[in-house]
Amino acid sequence: MPRPVITFRGGRRPHDPDRPHLKVSRLLTTDLPAPPAAADWLSPVPADAWGMLGNDEVGDCTIAGIAHKRIGDAYANQGLRLDISTADCLKYYGHFGYRPGDPSTDNGAVCQDVLAYWHTHGFRGEKNLAYARINVDDHNEVKQAIHLFGQIYCGVTITQAAEDQFNGEEVWSLKRSPVLGGHCITIGAYDRRGLDAVTWGTVHRMTWRWWDVYGDEAWAVFNPSDFVDPKTGRDRAGLDLATMRADYTALTGRSLAAGA
């Protein structure tokens, strides 16, 4: 099936790097080996499962991002197809001011606000247990987060060249061109040459150099299914749950939800 041609719709609003947040660097256990040379959480997902989820019409990429995270997790962790509709995403976008038929309300959202709302109110019946910021400049930390926890939730800057490369089914690589705005994607695979993102209903490739310039923010999101390996019934290795609980309480004044 041919890839749809997209016209960029800005949907990721600028982030505040000084806003309080959990940090992945504090939550990884100290005895972790180096991440593998490659990891891939996306190939188990059929190409028709992702969906555009409204982002060809409005700037709801931050919502499509959490939907793509949920869809990929369901396949990777449980072998289940999770059908999330455009209507589901547009309804959720309404929590951030969007009203169908009123273009003046199509103003996007801040990634951290969307993660916070998902944590407090849930998305299609499931709340994330917590989320933590990844250092986008540390390739080892980016790789480790993908390897251990699956798709990461990311904010990037899209240029005219990136839009053209997507529509031409070309890898996102550095090329001087005007900036169009902020966009939210998930990244669920990497190797020596680059990373694979889910965006605009499909999987798209980027080089590490492109990520280094245009990758603005990245988050590991911990869902209930992330904590238990379905084969062993035990917590997945790599996450320091004691530090996570302590940091969460220090940040929020609350205890982390049961299950972590």
Residue 10 has what pLDDT?
Answer: 85
Residue for token pair 């190409």: 47
What stretch of H or E contains 244?
Answer: helix 241-252
Which of 196, 168, 225 is CA-nearest to residue 38? Answer: 196
In a domain, 199, yes or no: no
Rounded-to-10 torsion of CA 179, 181, 186, 190: 10
pLDDT higher than threshold 90 for residue 59: yes
Which residues share a beta bridge with 39? 190
**106 inside domain:** yes
* Contact residues for 226 (Cβ-Cβ < 8 A; gap 6+): 73, 77, 129, 149, 150, 236
Phi first, then psi: give them for residue 216, nearest 5 degrees.
-95, -35
Binning pLDDT at 50, 70 and 90, where does residue 29 land?
Answer: confident
Q: Provide the H-helix boundaries in the chain.
A: 24-27, 61-73, 86-93, 111-121, 139-149, 160-167, 208-214, 241-252
Please report whether residue 85 resides in a domain.
Answer: yes
pTM: 0.93
Query: Which position has the higher pLDDT, 75 or 107?
Result: 107
> Does residue 36 fall inside a structural domain?
no
The pLDDT value given to residue 237? 62
Residue 238 has pLDDT above 80, yes or no: no
Number of residues written out for the chain: 260
3-state helix, strand, coil in the chain (%, to 5): 35, 25, 40
Domain-located, residue 66: yes
DSSP state letter for 125: T
Q: Cβ contacts of residue 46 below 8 Å, gap of 6+? A: 81
What is the tally of helices (H) and strands (E) in the chain?
8, 8
**Residues 6 or more apart whose Cβ sits within 8 Å of residue 43:** 189
Count of structural domains, the chain: 1
pLDDT band of residue 77 (cuts 50, 70, 90) is: confident
Q: Is residue 38 part of a domain?
A: no
Domain range for 51 is 44-149+215-252
pLDDT at 80 (0 to 100)? 85
Let me know if residue 162 belongs to a domain.
Answer: no
Distance CA 106, CA 101 (A): 9
- In a domain, residue 171? The reply is no
